[in-house]
Structures are given as structure tokens and as C-alpha cells.
């Protein structure tokens, strides 16, 4: 999918991916590709929050696609909505090269002990 992680911390995760190679048959960015980017960023940020000996497990993801990217790159910026002891919620805003919002993804992760 060509995903590249640009920034990763508990408070903010940023990644991008090319539109080319991630399109549906009409040449538009595939909605599932937006979700892959968003879920990846949200899960990685949740895992950092969970800390050593704990893991983040996705339990819900949803997306609203508001614009279709047709070329270039899309960038996802992930910020926490809730960082709890047992659950996290993140919002990921995906924009195109013109900084227009294309998709908004929300992911909820359950925090569990490893093993």
C-alpha cells in the first residue's frame, strides 16, 4: 500500500500513502485504503499509550468519506479523543495534497495485558 509513517507519539501520529495503487476501478482512492491508513495510525498510537506488557486491540472502526482523492498522496493525522486505562479512542483526519479533508476515521481500541 506504500504507507509511510512520518510521526508517531501518544499524542499524534502522522502517516501518508500514495493514491496510485490504492484506487477502486474508477480511479478514486479506495475507501478501504483510507481506513487502512486510519486504523494503522490509531492502533500504533494506542499501542504506545498502552505501554510495556500491554497491547491495543481494535474493537470498532468507522469512516466517513467526504472527498475522493484521484492522484498524489493522502496524509492522515491521528489525535486522541480518549486515552484511558482500558480503552482509547482516536480520530484520524485524512487529507489530499491540497489539504482538503477526504475521510474522517474513528477507531476504538481495548487495552489488554499481554499474555
pLDDT digits (tens, 9 = 90+) for 32-75: 999 999 999 999 999 999 999 999 999 999 999 999 999 999 99
Tell how strand 101-113 and strand 73-83 pair up. Answer: unpaired
pLDDT digits (tens, 9 = 90+) for 5-35: 999 999 999 999 999 999 999 999 999 999 9
Q: Is the pLDDT of residue 115 over 90?
A: no
**φ, ψ for residue 41, nearest 5 deg:** -65, -45
Phi-psi region of 21 (alpha: psi -120 to 50; beta: other; left: phi over 0): left
In whole angstroms, what is the distance from residue 114 CA to residue 105 CA?
26
Q: Look at residues 68, 88, 94 and name the one whose alpha carbon lies nearest to residue 14.
A: 94
Q: How far is the CA of 37 from the CAs of 14, 21, 53, 68, 87, in angstroms?
A: 10, 14, 25, 15, 20
How many whole angstroms from its chain centre is CA 96? Answer: 14
Give the pLDDT band (50/70/90) at residue 84: very high
> Which is catalytic among the residues 7, 20, 39, 91?
39
The reply to whether 39 belongs to the active site is: yes
Amino acid at each position: 500500500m506504500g504507507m509511510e509513517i512520518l510521526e508517531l507519539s501518544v499524542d499524534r501520529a502522522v502517516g501518508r500513502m500514495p493514491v496510485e495503487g490504492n484506487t477502486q476501478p474508477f480511479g478514486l482512492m479506495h475507501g478501504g485504503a483510507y481506513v487502512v491508513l486510519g486504523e494503522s495510525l490509531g492502533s500504533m498510537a494506542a499501542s504506545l499509550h498502552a505501554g510495556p506488557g500491554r497491547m491495543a486491540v481494535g474493537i470498532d472502526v468507522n469512516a466517513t468519506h467526504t472527498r475522493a482523492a484521484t492522484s498524489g498522496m493522502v496524509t492522515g493525522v491521528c489525535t486522541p479523543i480518549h486515552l484511558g486505562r482500558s480503552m482509547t479512542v482516536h480520530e484520524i483526519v485524512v487529507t489530499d495534497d491540497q489539504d482538503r479533508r477526504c475521510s474522517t476515521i474513528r477507531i476504538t481500541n481495548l487495552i489488554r495485558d499481554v499474555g
